[in-house]
């Protein structure tokens, strides 16, 4: 896909890579080897305990910056794109249902300043439940970052746009995984848990696999010129 779409830099949200919950070091390495430049995470960051030491040492896998400061890993990093441009990636967690250690609004301006000290090319992955939080953050950062890409809710939204200040945004990039499902889980199991309120062991579905995401075009000045949703049957 990198070749087909002529992609210079690729960010993957990998927090559900390990059977729907969390990521392992092996899977992170596989995603990086497959062409991801940076992997972001989310509310399931710590589901696989092995990931802590890995995040402490990794410059290419980031976790939300507003998780506990005492936890391993970083929430912002800079990596090199094809052609040599440096791209900063910031990962933050929204508040609704996710209860981060710190509110993203308390940190985001400092994170963006830190990133912009390195490069004008800045991508923010805002991992959040509420569309309002993601739309608000995109507006707040308009003109200061290249793109604000929402993740976590797994359903691609139809609001890809470049805002007046030159920041591209989409409220949710969607899900790479089985769409014949309830956001990745076998439908009958998810429905049984909802109908009965009883514990049900979730299994990952297998049908209707699609790659979803967003493709952003920008100049070396960091301003976005276009964004389009990506939706490809695997
Ligand atoms: Fe999530």
For residue range 130-163, what is the model confidence (pLDDT) as tens digits?
A: 999 999 999 999 999 999 999 999 999 999 999 9
Q: 44, 127, 152, 179: which is the annotated catalytic residue?
A: 44
DSSP string, the chain: -HHHHT-S--EEE-TTTTTTS---HHHHHHHHHTT-SEEE--TTGGGSTTHHHHHHH-SSB---TTS-TTSSS-SEEEEEPTTS-EEEEEEEE-STTT--SS-HHHHHHHHHHHHHTT-S-EEEEEE-S-HHHHHHHHHHTBTTBSEEEEESS-S--S--EE-TTS-EEES----SEESSSBTTB-HHHHHHHHHH-S-----B--SSEEEEEEEEEE-TTS-EEEEEEEEEE-
Residue 41 pLDDT = 98
User: Does residue 234 have a pLDDT over 90?
Assistant: no
Q: Quick check: 91 pLDDT over 90?
A: yes
CB-proximal residues (5 Å) to ion ligand 1: 42-43, 152
Ligand 1 centroid to 130 CA: how many Å?
A: 12
- Residue 93 Cα, ligand 1 centroid: separation in angstroms? 9
Q: What's the CA-to-centroid distance between 211 and ligand 1, angstroms?
A: 17
CA of 220 to the centre of ligand 1 (A): 31
The rounded Å distance from CA 155 to ligand 1 centre is 12
For the residues 75-99, what does the mean pLDDT come to?
A: 97
CA of 221 to the centre of ligand 1 (A): 31
To the query of whether residue 44 is one of the catalytic residues in this protein, the response is yes
Residue 65 has pLDDT above 90, yes or no: yes
Percentage above 70 pLDDT, the chain: 100
């Amino acid at each position: 896909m990198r070749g087909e779409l002529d992609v210079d830099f690729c960010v993957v949200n990998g927090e559900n890579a390990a059977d729907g919950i969390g990521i392992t070091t092996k899977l992170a390495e596989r995603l990086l080897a497959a062409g991801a430049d940076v992997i972001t995470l989310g509310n399931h960051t710590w589901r696989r305990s092995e990931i802590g030491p890995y995040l402490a040492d990794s410059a290419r896998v980031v976790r939300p910056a507003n998780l506990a400061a005492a936890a391993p890993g970083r929430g912002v990093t800079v990596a090199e794109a094809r052609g040599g441009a440096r791209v900063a990636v910031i990962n933050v967690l929204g508040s609704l249902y996710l209860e981060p250690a710190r509110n993203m609004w308390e940190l985001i301006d400092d994170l963006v300043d830190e990133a912009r000290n390195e490069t004008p090319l800045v991508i923010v992955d805002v991992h959040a439940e509420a569309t309002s939080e993601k739309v608000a953050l995109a507006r707040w950062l308009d003109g200061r970052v290249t793109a604000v890409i929402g993740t976590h809710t797994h359903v691609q939204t139809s609001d890809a746009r470049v805002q007046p200040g030159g920041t591209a945004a989409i409220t949710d990039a969607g899900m790479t995984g089985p769409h014949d499902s309830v956001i990745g889980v076998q439908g009958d199991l998810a429905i049984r848990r909802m109908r009965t309120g009883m514990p049900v062991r979730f299994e990952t579905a297998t049908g209707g696999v699609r790659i979803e995401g967003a493709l952003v075009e920008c100049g070396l000045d960091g301003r976005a010129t276009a964004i389009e949703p990506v939706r490809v049957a695997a």
